Structure 1
Protein backbone atom coordinates (compact mmCIF):
# COMPACT_ATOMS: atom_id res chain seq x y z
CA UNK A 1 0.00 0.00 0.00
CA UNK A 2 2.81 2.41 0.92
CA UNK A 3 4.52 1.68 -2.38
CA UNK A 4 1.32 2.44 -4.28
CA UNK A 5 0.84 5.67 -2.32
CA UNK A 6 4.46 6.68 -3.00
CA UNK A 7 4.03 6.04 -6.74
CA UNK A 8 0.78 8.01 -6.73
CA UNK A 9 2.45 10.94 -4.96
CA UNK A 10 5.34 10.88 -7.44
CA UNK A 11 2.93 10.86 -10.36
CA UNK A 12 1.00 13.77 -8.85
CA UNK A 13 4.17 15.81 -8.33
CA UNK A 14 5.28 15.06 -11.89
CA UNK A 15 1.89 16.18 -13.21
CA UNK A 16 2.13 19.42 -11.27
CA UNK A 17 5.59 20.05 -12.68
CA UNK A 18 4.37 19.50 -16.24
CA UNK A 19 1.38 21.78 -15.62
CA UNK A 20 3.66 24.45 -14.16
CA UNK A 21 5.93 24.29 -17.20
CA UNK A 22 2.92 24.64 -19.48
CA UNK A 23 1.67 27.65 -17.56
CA UNK A 24 5.06 29.35 -17.67
CA UNK A 25 5.98 28.33 -21.22
CA UNK A 26 7.15 31.39 -23.11
CA UNK A 27 4.77 32.72 -25.74
CA UNK A 28 7.60 32.75 -28.30
CA UNK A 29 7.58 28.94 -28.31
CA UNK A 30 3.81 28.89 -28.73
CA UNK A 31 3.98 31.34 -31.64
CA UNK A 32 6.53 29.23 -33.45
CA UNK A 33 4.57 26.05 -32.80
CA UNK A 34 1.36 27.62 -34.13
CA UNK A 35 3.27 29.18 -37.06
CA UNK A 36 1.40 32.44 -36.57
CA UNK A 37 1.59 35.49 -34.34
CA UNK A 38 -1.59 37.21 -33.14
CA UNK A 39 -1.05 40.97 -33.01
CA UNK A 40 -3.62 43.52 -31.85
CA UNK A 41 -3.81 46.56 -34.15
CA UNK A 42 -6.35 49.39 -34.18
CA UNK A 43 -7.36 49.72 -37.83
CA UNK A 44 -9.42 52.86 -37.14
CA UNK A 45 -6.42 54.97 -36.14
CA UNK A 46 -4.90 56.50 -39.29
CA UNK A 47 -2.12 56.74 -40.29
CA UNK A 48 -0.91 54.12 -37.80
CA UNK A 49 -3.70 51.65 -38.50
CA UNK A 50 -6.40 51.83 -41.18
CA UNK A 51 -7.85 50.07 -44.22
CA UNK A 52 -7.36 51.03 -47.86
CA UNK A 53 -10.00 51.40 -50.59
CA UNK A 54 -10.10 47.61 -50.95
CA UNK A 55 -10.57 47.19 -47.16
CA UNK A 56 -7.11 45.73 -46.76
CA UNK A 57 -5.17 46.65 -43.60
CA UNK A 58 -2.47 49.27 -43.91
CA UNK A 59 -0.73 51.94 -41.85
CA UNK A 60 2.56 52.23 -39.99
CA UNK A 61 1.64 49.87 -37.14
CA UNK A 62 0.33 47.30 -39.61
CA UNK A 63 3.54 47.47 -41.64
CA UNK A 64 5.61 47.08 -38.46
CA UNK A 65 3.54 44.04 -37.44
CA UNK A 66 3.82 42.51 -40.92
CA UNK A 67 7.62 42.98 -40.89
CA UNK A 68 7.87 41.41 -37.43
CA UNK A 69 5.84 38.36 -38.50
CA UNK A 70 7.92 37.98 -41.67
CA UNK A 71 11.21 38.14 -39.76
CA UNK A 72 9.88 35.67 -37.20
CA UNK A 73 8.95 33.32 -40.05
CA UNK A 74 5.27 33.01 -39.15
CA UNK A 75 1.92 34.21 -40.48
CA UNK A 76 0.35 37.40 -39.14
CA UNK A 77 -3.11 37.22 -37.60
CA UNK A 78 -4.60 40.64 -36.85
CA UNK A 79 -6.63 40.91 -33.66
CA UNK A 80 -8.74 44.08 -34.08
CA UNK A 81 -8.67 46.43 -31.11
CA UNK A 82 -9.55 49.87 -29.84
CA UNK A 83 -7.61 51.99 -27.39
CA UNK A 84 -9.56 50.51 -24.50
CA UNK A 85 -9.13 46.83 -25.45
CA UNK A 86 -5.42 46.69 -26.26
CA UNK A 87 -4.27 45.58 -22.80
CA UNK A 88 -7.31 43.33 -22.11
CA UNK A 89 -6.55 41.51 -25.38
CA UNK A 90 -3.17 40.56 -23.92
CA UNK A 91 -4.48 39.71 -20.48
CA UNK A 92 -7.18 37.39 -21.86
CA UNK A 93 -4.75 35.74 -24.31
CA UNK A 94 -6.62 36.97 -27.37
CA UNK A 95 -3.35 38.42 -28.67
CA UNK A 96 0.33 37.57 -28.34
CA UNK A 97 1.51 41.13 -28.92
CA UNK A 98 0.11 44.64 -29.26
CA UNK A 99 1.46 46.99 -31.93
CA UNK A 100 -1.05 49.80 -31.78
CA UNK A 101 0.41 53.20 -30.78
CA UNK A 102 0.86 51.75 -27.30
CA UNK A 103 2.58 54.54 -25.40
CA UNK A 104 4.65 53.73 -22.33
CA UNK A 105 3.08 54.80 -19.02
CA UNK A 106 4.02 53.69 -15.48
CA UNK A 107 0.43 52.54 -14.91
CA UNK A 108 0.41 50.24 -17.93
CA UNK A 109 3.88 48.95 -17.08
CA UNK A 110 2.42 47.50 -13.88
CA UNK A 111 0.29 45.02 -15.83
CA UNK A 112 2.14 44.47 -19.13
CA UNK A 113 5.70 44.62 -20.42
CA UNK A 114 7.01 46.79 -23.25
CA UNK A 115 9.75 46.28 -25.77
CA UNK A 116 12.26 49.06 -26.33
CA UNK A 117 10.50 51.77 -28.40
CA UNK A 118 10.07 51.26 -32.14
CA UNK A 119 8.51 54.72 -32.81
CA UNK A 120 7.40 57.92 -31.09
CA UNK A 121 4.15 59.84 -30.80
CA UNK A 122 3.30 63.45 -30.02
CA UNK A 123 0.17 63.86 -27.90
CA UNK A 124 -1.64 67.19 -28.21
CA UNK A 125 -4.80 69.24 -27.81
CA UNK A 126 -6.15 70.76 -31.00
CA UNK A 127 -9.26 72.54 -32.10
CA UNK A 128 -10.91 75.19 -34.25
CA UNK A 129 -9.12 78.47 -34.76
CA UNK A 130 -11.49 80.60 -32.69
CA UNK A 131 -11.07 78.67 -29.44
CA UNK A 132 -8.43 79.92 -26.98
CA UNK A 133 -6.66 76.93 -25.41
CA UNK A 134 -2.97 77.31 -24.67
CA UNK A 135 -2.84 75.12 -21.57
CA UNK A 136 -4.86 72.72 -19.44
CA UNK A 137 -6.13 75.67 -17.39
CA UNK A 138 -7.75 77.13 -20.52
CA UNK A 139 -9.91 74.00 -20.90
CA UNK A 140 -12.02 74.90 -17.85
CA UNK A 141 -15.62 75.37 -18.91
CA UNK A 142 -14.96 73.89 -22.33
CA UNK A 143 -15.92 70.54 -23.87
CA UNK A 144 -13.18 68.32 -25.30
CA UNK A 145 -13.40 65.00 -27.14
CA UNK A 146 -11.05 62.08 -26.50
CA UNK A 147 -10.71 58.36 -27.18
CA UNK A 148 -11.61 56.45 -24.02
CA UNK A 149 -8.80 54.83 -21.97
CA UNK A 150 -5.96 56.46 -23.93
CA UNK A 151 -3.06 58.42 -22.48
CA UNK A 152 -4.83 61.60 -23.61
CA UNK A 153 -7.89 60.56 -21.58
CA UNK A 154 -5.69 59.99 -18.53
CA UNK A 155 -3.97 63.37 -18.94
CA UNK A 156 -7.28 65.22 -19.26
CA UNK A 157 -8.81 63.38 -16.31
CA UNK A 158 -5.87 64.28 -14.08
CA UNK A 159 -5.23 67.84 -15.22
CA UNK A 160 -8.12 69.42 -17.14
CA UNK A 161 -9.99 70.73 -14.10
CA UNK A 162 -13.42 72.10 -14.92
CA UNK A 163 -13.46 70.73 -18.46
CA UNK A 164 -16.24 68.53 -19.82
CA UNK A 165 -14.51 65.43 -21.17
CA UNK A 166 -16.54 63.69 -23.88
CA UNK A 167 -15.24 60.14 -24.25
CA UNK A 168 -15.65 58.11 -27.45
CA UNK A 169 -15.04 54.40 -27.88
CA UNK A 170 -12.51 54.65 -30.72
CA UNK A 171 -10.45 57.11 -32.75
CA UNK A 172 -12.81 56.92 -35.72
CA UNK A 173 -15.58 58.42 -33.58
CA UNK A 174 -13.25 61.20 -32.38
CA UNK A 175 -12.35 62.02 -35.98
CA UNK A 176 -16.02 62.15 -36.92
CA UNK A 177 -16.77 64.44 -33.97
CA UNK A 178 -14.03 66.88 -34.97
CA UNK A 179 -14.78 66.81 -38.70
CA UNK A 180 -18.56 67.19 -38.40
CA UNK A 181 -18.53 69.92 -35.76
CA UNK A 182 -19.65 67.82 -32.81
CA UNK A 183 -16.40 68.73 -31.06
CA UNK A 184 -14.43 71.98 -31.26
CA UNK A 185 -11.57 70.63 -29.15
CA UNK A 186 -9.92 67.20 -29.17
CA UNK A 187 -7.04 65.50 -27.36
CA UNK A 188 -5.28 63.01 -29.60
CA UNK A 189 -2.01 62.11 -31.31
CA UNK A 190 -0.32 64.54 -33.67
CA UNK A 191 -0.71 62.15 -36.61
CA UNK A 192 -4.40 61.58 -35.97
CA UNK A 193 -5.01 65.31 -35.58
CA UNK A 194 -3.40 65.91 -38.97
CA UNK A 195 -5.90 63.44 -40.43
CA UNK A 196 -8.70 65.59 -39.00
CA UNK A 197 -7.15 68.74 -40.47
CA UNK A 198 -6.91 67.10 -43.90
CA UNK A 199 -10.47 65.79 -43.81
CA UNK A 200 -12.08 69.10 -42.85
CA UNK A 201 -10.09 72.14 -44.07
CA UNK A 202 -13.15 74.37 -43.68
CA UNK A 203 -13.14 73.71 -39.92
CA UNK A 204 -9.77 75.51 -39.61
CA UNK A 205 -8.43 73.06 -37.07
CA UNK A 206 -5.08 73.92 -35.52
CA UNK A 207 -2.81 72.47 -32.79
CA UNK A 208 -3.28 74.23 -29.46
CA UNK A 209 -0.61 72.77 -27.16
CA UNK A 210 1.47 69.61 -26.74
CA UNK A 211 0.58 67.31 -23.88
CA UNK A 212 3.75 65.22 -24.13
CA UNK A 213 5.82 63.03 -26.44
CA UNK A 214 5.59 59.27 -25.92
CA UNK A 215 7.76 56.27 -26.68
CA UNK A 216 5.74 53.57 -28.45
CA UNK A 217 6.58 49.97 -27.59
CA UNK A 218 5.43 46.49 -28.52
CA UNK A 219 3.21 45.28 -25.69
CA UNK A 220 3.31 41.76 -24.28
CA UNK A 221 2.28 39.87 -21.18
CA UNK A 222 4.48 39.89 -18.08
CA UNK A 223 7.15 37.23 -17.58
CA UNK A 224 7.93 36.51 -21.24
CA UNK A 225 11.77 36.63 -21.23
CA UNK A 226 12.37 34.80 -24.53
CA UNK A 227 9.73 36.80 -26.39
CA UNK A 228 10.98 40.06 -24.89
CA UNK A 229 14.58 39.30 -25.88
CA UNK A 230 13.58 38.38 -29.44
CA UNK A 231 11.42 41.50 -29.94
CA UNK A 232 14.07 43.82 -28.48
CA UNK A 233 16.74 42.34 -30.75
CA UNK A 234 14.33 42.69 -33.68
CA UNK A 235 13.70 46.37 -32.90
CA UNK A 236 17.44 47.08 -32.62
CA UNK A 237 18.16 45.32 -35.93
CA UNK A 238 15.43 47.10 -37.85
CA UNK A 239 16.19 50.46 -36.30
CA UNK A 240 19.83 50.04 -37.34
CA UNK A 241 19.05 48.92 -40.90
CA UNK A 242 16.53 51.74 -41.35
CA UNK A 243 13.44 49.63 -42.02
CA UNK A 244 11.47 50.97 -39.06
CA UNK A 245 12.33 54.55 -39.99
CA UNK A 246 11.32 53.88 -43.59
CA UNK A 247 7.89 52.69 -42.43
CA UNK A 248 7.45 55.64 -40.05
CA UNK A 249 8.45 58.23 -42.65
CA UNK A 250 6.14 56.69 -45.26
CA UNK A 251 3.07 57.31 -43.13
CA UNK A 252 4.05 60.18 -40.82
CA UNK A 253 6.18 62.30 -43.15
CA UNK A 254 9.10 62.57 -40.73
CA UNK A 255 11.92 60.51 -39.26
CA UNK A 256 11.54 58.64 -35.98
CA UNK A 257 12.61 61.04 -33.19
CA UNK A 258 16.27 60.70 -32.24
CA UNK A 259 15.24 60.22 -28.58
CA UNK A 260 13.59 56.95 -29.70
CA UNK A 261 16.39 55.85 -32.01
CA UNK A 262 19.01 56.34 -29.29
CA UNK A 263 17.27 53.78 -27.06
CA UNK A 264 17.80 51.05 -29.65
CA UNK A 265 21.58 51.51 -29.82
Structure 2
Protein backbone atom coordinates (compact mmCIF):
# COMPACT_ATOMS: atom_id res chain seq x y z
CA UNK A 1 0.00 0.00 0.00
CA UNK A 2 1.28 3.49 -0.82
CA UNK A 3 2.20 5.80 2.02
CA UNK A 4 0.90 9.36 1.70
CA UNK A 5 4.48 10.56 1.21
CA UNK A 6 5.17 7.96 -1.49
CA UNK A 7 1.97 8.72 -3.38
CA UNK A 8 2.72 12.45 -3.31
CA UNK A 9 6.22 11.94 -4.64
CA UNK A 10 5.01 9.70 -7.46
CA UNK A 11 2.28 12.15 -8.45
CA UNK A 12 4.79 14.99 -8.54
CA UNK A 13 7.11 12.93 -10.72
CA UNK A 14 4.41 11.95 -13.23
CA UNK A 15 3.19 15.53 -13.49
CA UNK A 16 6.76 16.54 -14.28
CA UNK A 17 6.92 13.95 -17.05
CA UNK A 18 3.66 15.17 -18.59
CA UNK A 19 4.88 18.75 -18.62
CA UNK A 20 8.46 18.05 -19.60
CA UNK A 21 10.37 21.26 -18.85
CA UNK A 22 12.74 22.49 -21.52
CA UNK A 23 14.34 25.46 -19.78
CA UNK A 24 17.22 23.41 -18.44
CA UNK A 25 17.28 20.59 -20.99
CA UNK A 26 20.71 21.77 -22.13
CA UNK A 27 22.26 20.72 -18.80
CA UNK A 28 20.88 17.21 -19.20
CA UNK A 29 22.25 17.09 -22.73
CA UNK A 30 25.64 18.29 -21.51
CA UNK A 31 25.76 15.40 -19.05
CA UNK A 32 24.88 12.94 -21.79
CA UNK A 33 27.38 14.41 -24.23
CA UNK A 34 30.15 14.30 -21.61
CA UNK A 35 30.07 10.51 -21.70
CA UNK A 36 30.10 10.22 -17.91
CA UNK A 37 27.82 10.63 -14.92
CA UNK A 38 29.57 12.17 -11.91
CA UNK A 39 28.07 10.65 -8.77
CA UNK A 40 28.77 12.09 -5.29
CA UNK A 41 29.15 9.14 -2.92
CA UNK A 42 30.44 8.42 0.59
CA UNK A 43 33.29 5.96 1.05
CA UNK A 44 33.07 3.65 4.05
CA UNK A 45 29.29 3.45 4.54
CA UNK A 46 28.75 -0.27 5.20
CA UNK A 47 26.46 -2.05 2.72
CA UNK A 48 25.82 1.21 0.85
CA UNK A 49 29.19 2.34 -0.50
CA UNK A 50 32.71 1.17 0.23
CA UNK A 51 35.87 1.53 -1.86
CA UNK A 52 38.40 -1.26 -1.89
CA UNK A 53 41.63 -0.26 -3.69
CA UNK A 54 41.82 -3.72 -5.28
CA UNK A 55 38.15 -4.57 -5.87
CA UNK A 56 36.69 -1.13 -6.57
CA UNK A 57 33.34 0.14 -5.32
CA UNK A 58 30.86 -2.16 -3.61
CA UNK A 59 27.49 -1.62 -1.93
CA UNK A 60 23.92 -0.89 -2.96
CA UNK A 61 24.53 2.79 -3.73
CA UNK A 62 27.54 1.94 -5.88
CA UNK A 63 25.56 -0.66 -7.82
CA UNK A 64 22.61 1.72 -8.17
CA UNK A 65 24.89 4.42 -9.56
CA UNK A 66 26.50 2.02 -12.00
CA UNK A 67 23.12 0.76 -13.24
CA UNK A 68 21.76 4.30 -13.65
CA UNK A 69 24.81 5.44 -15.60
CA UNK A 70 24.72 2.31 -17.77
CA UNK A 71 21.05 2.89 -18.64
CA UNK A 72 21.88 6.47 -19.57
CA UNK A 73 24.64 5.17 -21.82
CA UNK A 74 27.28 6.83 -19.65
CA UNK A 75 30.33 5.81 -17.66
CA UNK A 76 29.92 6.23 -13.87
CA UNK A 77 32.49 8.48 -12.22
CA UNK A 78 32.32 8.33 -8.41
CA UNK A 79 33.19 11.59 -6.63
CA UNK A 80 34.14 10.77 -3.03
CA UNK A 81 32.63 13.16 -0.48
CA UNK A 82 32.05 13.24 3.26
CA UNK A 83 28.58 13.30 4.85
CA UNK A 84 28.95 17.00 5.44
CA UNK A 85 29.81 17.96 1.86
CA UNK A 86 27.38 15.88 -0.21
CA UNK A 87 25.07 18.78 -1.03
CA UNK A 88 27.92 21.25 -1.38
CA UNK A 89 29.62 19.06 -3.97
CA UNK A 90 26.39 18.97 -5.98
CA UNK A 91 25.72 22.71 -5.76
CA UNK A 92 29.33 23.50 -6.67
CA UNK A 93 28.92 21.25 -9.74
CA UNK A 94 31.66 18.86 -8.72
CA UNK A 95 29.04 16.14 -9.20
CA UNK A 96 25.95 15.74 -11.38
CA UNK A 97 23.89 13.81 -8.80
CA UNK A 98 24.15 12.39 -5.26
CA UNK A 99 23.67 8.67 -4.62
CA UNK A 100 24.82 8.42 -1.04
CA UNK A 101 22.14 7.16 1.38
CA UNK A 102 20.74 10.69 1.31
CA UNK A 103 17.49 10.88 3.26
CA UNK A 104 14.79 13.38 2.31
CA UNK A 105 14.40 16.19 4.84
CA UNK A 106 12.67 19.59 4.66
CA UNK A 107 16.00 21.38 5.19
CA UNK A 108 17.63 19.57 2.28
CA UNK A 109 14.60 20.16 0.08
CA UNK A 110 15.25 23.89 0.43
CA UNK A 111 18.63 23.37 -1.24
CA UNK A 112 18.20 20.58 -3.78
CA UNK A 113 15.59 18.41 -5.50
CA UNK A 114 15.08 14.70 -4.83
CA UNK A 115 14.10 11.79 -7.02
CA UNK A 116 11.52 9.25 -5.99
CA UNK A 117 12.90 7.16 -3.10
CA UNK A 118 14.93 4.19 -4.37
CA UNK A 119 15.94 2.64 -1.01
CA UNK A 120 15.76 3.18 2.75
CA UNK A 121 18.16 3.52 5.66
CA UNK A 122 17.50 2.50 9.28
CA UNK A 123 19.24 4.78 11.78
CA UNK A 124 19.79 3.25 15.21
CA UNK A 125 21.44 3.72 18.59
CA UNK A 126 24.06 1.10 19.43
CA UNK A 127 25.69 0.50 22.81
CA UNK A 128 27.03 -2.31 25.04
CA UNK A 129 24.46 -4.67 26.61
CA UNK A 130 25.28 -3.20 30.03
CA UNK A 131 23.79 0.16 28.99
CA UNK A 132 20.07 0.53 29.65
CA UNK A 133 18.82 2.65 26.77
CA UNK A 134 15.22 2.42 25.65
CA UNK A 135 14.76 5.88 24.17
CA UNK A 136 16.16 9.37 23.87
CA UNK A 137 15.57 10.21 27.55
CA UNK A 138 18.09 7.56 28.55
CA UNK A 139 20.82 9.37 26.59
CA UNK A 140 20.89 12.42 28.87
CA UNK A 141 24.43 13.17 30.05
CA UNK A 142 25.96 10.39 27.94
CA UNK A 143 28.60 10.74 25.20
CA UNK A 144 27.28 9.74 21.77
CA UNK A 145 29.15 9.68 18.48
CA UNK A 146 27.31 10.57 15.25
CA UNK A 147 28.01 11.80 11.72
CA UNK A 148 27.97 15.52 11.04
CA UNK A 149 25.09 16.92 8.92
CA UNK A 150 23.18 13.63 9.10
CA UNK A 151 19.53 12.86 9.77
CA UNK A 152 20.33 10.86 12.91
CA UNK A 153 22.45 13.75 14.19
CA UNK A 154 19.49 16.08 13.69
CA UNK A 155 17.24 13.68 15.62
CA UNK A 156 19.70 13.56 18.51
CA UNK A 157 19.85 17.35 18.69
CA UNK A 158 16.08 17.53 18.70
CA UNK A 159 15.22 14.73 21.11
CA UNK A 160 18.40 14.16 23.15
CA UNK A 161 19.68 17.68 23.65
CA UNK A 162 20.91 16.79 27.14
CA UNK A 163 23.34 14.28 25.67
CA UNK A 164 26.99 15.04 24.88
CA UNK A 165 26.94 14.73 21.09
CA UNK A 166 30.28 14.25 19.33
CA UNK A 167 30.18 14.78 15.55
CA UNK A 168 32.44 13.37 12.84
CA UNK A 169 32.68 14.39 9.19
CA UNK A 170 32.24 10.92 7.74
CA UNK A 171 31.36 7.34 8.63
CA UNK A 172 34.94 5.96 8.66
CA UNK A 173 36.01 8.65 11.15
CA UNK A 174 32.96 7.90 13.32
CA UNK A 175 33.62 4.15 13.36
CA UNK A 176 37.35 4.62 13.95
CA UNK A 177 36.62 6.85 16.95
CA UNK A 178 34.24 4.25 18.37
CA UNK A 179 36.80 1.48 17.96
CA UNK A 180 39.40 3.62 19.77
CA UNK A 181 36.92 3.97 22.67
CA UNK A 182 36.37 7.72 22.45
CA UNK A 183 32.71 7.00 23.33
CA UNK A 184 30.64 3.89 23.98
CA UNK A 185 27.31 4.86 22.41
CA UNK A 186 26.93 5.38 18.68
CA UNK A 187 24.22 6.70 16.40
CA UNK A 188 24.61 5.20 12.94
CA UNK A 189 22.96 3.09 10.29
CA UNK A 190 22.10 -0.51 11.16
CA UNK A 191 24.79 -2.10 8.97
CA UNK A 192 27.51 -0.19 10.87
CA UNK A 193 26.57 -2.05 14.07
CA UNK A 194 27.14 -5.34 12.28
CA UNK A 195 30.49 -4.15 10.94
CA UNK A 196 31.66 -2.92 14.34
CA UNK A 197 30.84 -6.24 15.97
CA UNK A 198 33.00 -8.01 13.40
CA UNK A 199 35.92 -5.83 14.48
CA UNK A 200 35.33 -5.72 18.23
CA UNK A 201 36.50 -8.35 20.72
CA UNK A 202 33.79 -10.41 22.40
CA UNK A 203 33.84 -8.33 25.59
CA UNK A 204 33.17 -5.11 23.67
CA UNK A 205 30.30 -6.24 21.43
CA UNK A 206 27.40 -3.81 21.09
CA UNK A 207 23.71 -4.18 20.33
CA UNK A 208 20.97 -2.16 18.72
CA UNK A 209 19.09 -0.30 21.46
CA UNK A 210 16.34 1.36 19.45
CA UNK A 211 15.59 2.58 15.94
CA UNK A 212 15.74 6.35 15.68
CA UNK A 213 13.96 6.34 12.36
CA UNK A 214 13.88 4.56 9.02
CA UNK A 215 14.12 7.07 6.21
CA UNK A 216 13.49 6.78 2.50
CA UNK A 217 16.62 7.72 0.58
CA UNK A 218 16.63 9.35 -2.83
CA UNK A 219 18.93 10.64 -5.52
CA UNK A 220 19.91 14.28 -5.03
CA UNK A 221 19.67 16.56 -8.07
CA UNK A 222 20.09 20.29 -8.53
CA UNK A 223 16.73 22.06 -8.62
CA UNK A 224 17.42 23.60 -12.02
CA UNK A 225 18.17 20.20 -13.61
CA UNK A 226 14.49 19.38 -14.13
CA UNK A 227 14.97 17.28 -17.28
CA UNK A 228 17.54 15.09 -15.55
CA UNK A 229 15.24 14.71 -12.56
CA UNK A 230 12.33 13.65 -14.78
CA UNK A 231 14.46 10.99 -16.47
CA UNK A 232 15.75 9.67 -13.13
CA UNK A 233 12.24 9.58 -11.62
CA UNK A 234 11.01 7.48 -14.53
CA UNK A 235 14.09 5.25 -14.20
CA UNK A 236 13.50 4.71 -10.47
CA UNK A 237 9.83 3.88 -11.07
CA UNK A 238 10.69 1.39 -13.81
CA UNK A 239 13.39 -0.32 -11.75
CA UNK A 240 11.15 -0.58 -8.69
CA UNK A 241 8.53 -2.23 -10.87
CA UNK A 242 10.89 -4.70 -12.52
CA UNK A 243 12.58 -5.61 -9.20
CA UNK A 244 16.08 -4.43 -10.14
CA UNK A 245 16.41 -1.92 -7.28
CA UNK A 246 15.00 -4.39 -4.77
CA UNK A 247 17.49 -7.02 -5.93
CA UNK A 248 20.39 -4.58 -5.56
CA UNK A 249 19.27 -3.69 -2.03
CA UNK A 250 18.67 -7.30 -0.99
CA UNK A 251 22.07 -8.38 -2.30
CA UNK A 252 23.91 -5.94 -0.04
CA UNK A 253 21.58 -5.59 2.97
CA UNK A 254 20.20 -9.10 3.30
CA UNK A 255 16.57 -7.95 3.25
CA UNK A 256 14.04 -6.54 0.82
CA UNK A 257 13.04 -2.92 0.56
CA UNK A 258 10.10 -1.94 2.82
CA UNK A 259 6.64 -1.77 1.24
CA UNK A 260 6.66 2.01 1.59
CA UNK A 261 9.46 2.08 -1.00
CA UNK A 262 8.48 -1.00 -3.01
CA UNK A 263 4.68 -1.09 -3.32
CA UNK A 264 2.90 -3.96 -5.02
CA UNK A 265 2.41 -1.99 -8.23
CA UNK A 266 3.28 1.36 -9.73
CA UNK A 267 1.73 3.27 -12.65
CA UNK A 268 3.81 3.02 -15.78
CA UNK A 269 6.00 6.03 -16.53
CA UNK A 270 7.97 6.26 -19.76
CA UNK A 271 11.58 7.43 -19.52
CA UNK A 272 12.20 10.42 -21.81
CA UNK A 273 14.50 9.58 -24.71
TM-score by length of 1: 0.87
Residue of structure 1 equivalent to 2:4: none
Give the count of matched residue pairs: 244
Residue of structure 2 equivalent to 1:241: 242
**Distance between the aligned counterparts of 1:139 and 1:183, measured in 2?**
13
Structure 1 residue 67 displacement after superposition? 0.3
Cα deviation, 1:199-255, whole Å, max 9, x if unaligned, reads 225212001111111000000001322111100111111111111111111110000
Residue of structure 2 equivalent to 1:74: 74
**Distance between the aligned counterparts of 2:24 and 2:232, measured in 1?**
18
CA contact (8 A) 1:137 1:161 kept: no
Residue of structure 1 equivalent to 2:123: 123
Residue of structure 2 equivalent to 1:31: 31
1:261 maps onto 2:262 in alignment: yes
Greater helix fraction, Structure 1 or Structure 2: 1
Let me know the Cα RMSD of the aligned residues.
1.8
CA contact (8 A) 2:197 2:205 kept: yes
CA contact (8 A) 2:25 2:227 kept: no
178-187 or 82-91: which moved more? 178-187
52-61 or 232-241: which moved more? 52-61
**Distance between the aligned counterparts of 1:81 and 1:263, measured in 2?**
35
Structure 1 residue 112 displacement after superposition? 0.5
Cα deviation, 1:110-156, whole Å, max 9, x if unaligned, reads 11010001001111111111112111111111000001111111111
Question: What is the SS of the residue equivalent to 2:261?
Answer: helix
User: In structure 2, do the counterparts of structure 1 residues 179 and 88 end up closer, same or farther at CA, with 3 Å as the change threshold?
Assistant: same
124-133 or 112-121: which moved more? 124-133
CA contact (8 A) 1:36 1:74 kept: yes
> What are structure 1's unaligned runs of at least 5 residues?
1-22
User: In structure 2, do the counterparts of structure 1 residues 134 and 57 end up closer, same or farther at CA, with 3 Å as the change threshold?
Assistant: same
**Distance between the aligned counterparts of 1:57 and 1:111, measured in 2?**
28
TM-score by length of 2: 0.85
Structure 1 residue 26 displacement after superposition? 4.6
Cα deviation, 1:35-62, whole Å, max 9, x if unaligned, reads 1110001121111010236151111100
Structure 1 residue 197 displacement after superposition? 2.2
CA contact (8 A) 1:124 1:188 kept: yes
CA contact (8 A) 1:83 1:148 kept: yes
User: In structure 2, do the counterparts of structure 1 residues 264 and 63 end up closer, same or farther at CA, with 3 Å as the change threshold?
Assistant: farther
Please tell me whether Structure 1 or Structure 2 has the larger radius of gyration of its CA atoms: 1
CA contact (8 A) 1:122 1:210 kept: yes
Cα deviation, 1:150-207, whole Å, max 9, x if unaligned, reads 1111111122121100111110111122233222101111122222222225212001
**Distance between the aligned counterparts of 2:208 and 2:46, measured in 1?**
17
173-182 or 138-147: which moved more? 173-182
